[in-house]
Amino acid sequence: MVQELVHSQNVFFETQQTKDVNFRKKHLKLLYQEIMEREDAICDAIYADFQKPKFESLGTETQLVLAELKYAIKNVKSWSEPTRVAAPLVNFPSKEWIQSEPFGKVLIISPWNYPFMLAISPLVGALAAGNTAVIKPSELSPHTSKIISEIIQNVFPPEYVAVVEGGVEVSTQLLAEKWEYIFFTGSTAVGKIVYKSAAEHLTPVTLELSGKNPCIVDETASIKLAAKRIVWGKFLNGGQTCIAPDYILVHRSVKEALTSALMQEITIFYGKKKKKSPDFARMATNKHYQGL
């Protein structure tokens, strides 16, 4: 199945239909309309996966993607035009331009923590640039994965854009194929596997990996404001954000005040019965709960 899909996208890309700016814009608009019409269903799917509140799904998933789509639709024509550059003396009397060209087949491997946005946002860029794409969503967010597959099937033929669902074995099959570009979001450990597979074919990659994110609070800070922002950043999406604060470096003179302010802000955000708060997303799996 994977080999046949990759072959069909090769054949389709070679028709050069995706180089047509109007073709790109048409499908970006179709994707925008489909997401608009199914926004509530997308939020419901994300909630089914890890009880992410609807206002968070709107703010950090669907609306971000819709904004990117609007921006791409508005600018794809200018992005595709040749850019005039100065010619060096050795090439006198030539005139020179840079013409951007699509890579070809793009593989997008997305994670479970922002299961919709981190699958569709890279797709927007890939399509605006004139590529075909295969999306491999996370098996840990099956409801969102399912609706992504439905949306893509409604908008695109599989030789243009397709979704392949499954676990590690599917990812392994996909990475065994030759791609012209790979966009991966996830852990550093898996990122190394992706990078190694890409190196076999000298495939360029974008790796969006995890890291450390300290918050520094010194004695001049507004403690209440710092606490409010730290709590928002840390507890958004149930703390499952790669750039969420994961530790605090605080001046000893304001340590107690900050600790107290943090507790107050958590109560303001989520109430006294925090574990039952409808405004707090849950962990996707027990493994991730233990990790946090």
What's residue 168's pLDDT? Answer: 94
Side-chain-side CA neighbours of 267 within 13 Å: the count stands at 7
Domain boundaries, the chain: 2-209, 214-291
Beta strands at 105-109 and 132-136: parallel, antiparallel or unpaired:
parallel
For the question of residue 242 being annotated catalytic, the response is yes
**Least confident segment among 74-78, 154-158, 204-208, 276-280:** 276-280
Whole-prediction pTM value? 0.94
Q: Do 2-209 and 214-291 have matching folds? A: no
Q: Map 5-72 to HEC letters.
A: HHHHHHHHHHCCHHHCHHHHHHHHHHHHHHHHHCHHHHHHHHHHHHCCCHHHHHHHHHHHHHHHHHHH
Cβ atoms within 10 Å of 63's Cβ, excluding its own: 14
> CATH topology for 2-209?
Aldehyde Dehydrogenase; Chain A, domain 1 (3.40.605)
For residue 194, how far is the Cα from the chain centroid?
16
Query: Which residues on neighbouring strands pair with residue 216, listed in sequence order?
Result: 249
Query: Which residues on neighbouring strands pair with residue 109, listed in sequence order?
Result: 136, 184
What's residue 104's pLDDT? Answer: 98
> CATH topology for 214-291?
Aldehyde Dehydrogenase; Chain A, domain 2 (3.40.309)
Instruction: With a cut of 90, say whether residue 284 has pLDDT above it.
Output: no
What's residue 251's pLDDT? Answer: 98
Instruction: List the one residue out of 115, 137, 108, 109 whose CA is nearest residue 48.
Output: 115
Q: Kindly report, residue by residue over 30-53, the tens digit of the pLDDT.
A: 999 999 999 999 999 999 999 999
| pLDDT above 70 coverage of the chain, percent | 100
Catalytic residue among 139, 165, 215, 242: 242
Three-state DSSP state, 163: strand
Q: Kindly report, residue by residue over 255-282, the tens digit of the pLDDT.
A: 999 999 999 999 999 999 888 999 999 9
What's residue 292's pLDDT? Answer: 66
Higher pLDDT among residues 198 and 292, named by residue: 198
What's residue 220's pLDDT? Answer: 97
Specify burial of residue 273 (Cβ count, 10 A radius: 0-12, 13-18, 19+): exposed
Q: Over the chain, what is the mean pLDDT? A: 96
For the question of residue 208 being annotated catalytic, the response is yes
Catalytic residue among 159, 165, 208, 215: 208
Distance between CA 15 and CA 18 in Å, rounded?
8
